[in-house]
Chains A and B, each alone.
Chain A
Amino acid sequence: MTKRYLLNFLLFLLVIFIQTYFGMTIFLSSFLNIILIFLIFTFFYFSPYYLFFLIFLASIIFDTLSSFAWGTHLIIFVACFGIGLLLMKFFEKSYFFPRLIIGNIIIAIYFLGFLILNLIFKTSPFYLIILQQLIFTLMGYILFSFLFEKVKHIKLYNHY
Chain B
Amino acid sequence: MKRIRRQNFRSLALLVIFVITSILLFQSYVLQENSFKPKVVFALSLGEPAGNYLVNLRSWINDLFHFNDLRQKLNKIKSENINLINRFQDFRKLQEENIFLKEALKIKNETDWSLEMAEIILMDPSGLSGSFWINKGLKAGLDEGMNVIVEDRILIGRLVECFNDYCRGESIFNPETRISVEDLRSAVLAVAEVDTKGNFRLKLVPYNSDIQIGDVLVTSAENTNFLKGLLVAKVQKAGSSPDTSSVKEFILEPLLNFSRLSSVFIIKDIVPTS
Q: Decide: A18 and B131 in contact? CB cutoff 8 A.
A: no
Q: How far is the CA of A26 from the CA of B18 in the complex (A)?
A: 39
CB distance from A54 to the nearest CB of B (A): 13
Segment 24-76 of A: residues with Cβ below 8 Å from B: 24-31, 33, 49, 52, 56, 59-62, 64-68, 70-71, 74
**B261 contacts across to A, CB distance below 8 A:** 26
Decide: A124 near B194, CB < 8 A? Known: A21-B51, A65-B133, A74-B26: yes
Segment of A94-102, A126-134, A141-149 engaged in the interface with chain B:
A126-134
Segment 48-79 of B: residues with Cβ below 8 Å from A: 50-52, 54-55, 57-58
Q: Decide: B30 and A71 in contact? CB cutoff 8 A.
A: yes
- Secondary structure dominating the interface of B: mixed
**B133 contacts across to A, CB distance below 8 A:** 65
Interface residues on A, range: 35 or more
- A72-94: CB near B (< 8 Å → 1, else 0) gives 00100000000000000000000
Decide: A20 near B129, CB < 8 A? Known: A60-B29, A67-B168, A124-B196: no
Q: How far is the CA of A56 from the CA of B40 in the complex (A)?
A: 13
Q: Decide: A27 and B130 in contact? CB cutoff 8 A.
A: yes
Segment 96-153 of B: residues with Cβ below 8 Å from A: 120, 122-133
Q: How far is the CA of A95 from the CA of B125 in the complex (A)?
A: 33
Decide: A71 near B123, CB < 8 A? Known: A124-B196, A130-B128: no
Smallest Cβ-Cβ distance to B261: which chain A residue: A26
CB distance from A146 to the nearest CB of B (A): 23
Cβ of A9 within 8 Å of any chain B Cβ, yes or no, is no
Using a CB–CB cutoff of 8 Å, the interface residues on chain B facing chain A are 18, 22, 25-26, 29-30, 33, 36-37, 40-41, 44, 47, 50-52, 54-55, 57-58, 120, 122-133, 156, 160, 168, 170-171, 173-176, 193-198, 254, 256, 258, 261
Other A-B pairs, 6, CB within 8 Å; known A29-B198, A71-B29: A23-B126, A27-B258, A60-B29, A61-B40, A68-B129, A133-B126
Using a CB–CB cutoff of 8 Å, the interface residues on chain A facing chain B are 17-31, 33, 49, 52, 56, 59-62, 64-68, 70-71, 74, 114, 118, 122-130, 133
| Chain A to chain B: the 10 pairs with minimum beta-carbon distance, closest first | A21-B51, A23-B125, A24-B123, A28-B198, A21-B54, A67-B129, A67-B131, A22-B54, A29-B127, A64-B40
- Supply 21 A–B pairs (Cβ within 8 Å), ascending by A: A17-B51, A21-B47, A21-B51, A21-B52, A22-B125, A24-B123, A24-B125, A26-B171, A28-B128, A29-B198, A33-B126, A52-B22, A59-B29, A66-B128, A66-B129, A67-B130, A67-B131, A71-B30, A123-B176, A126-B197, A130-B128
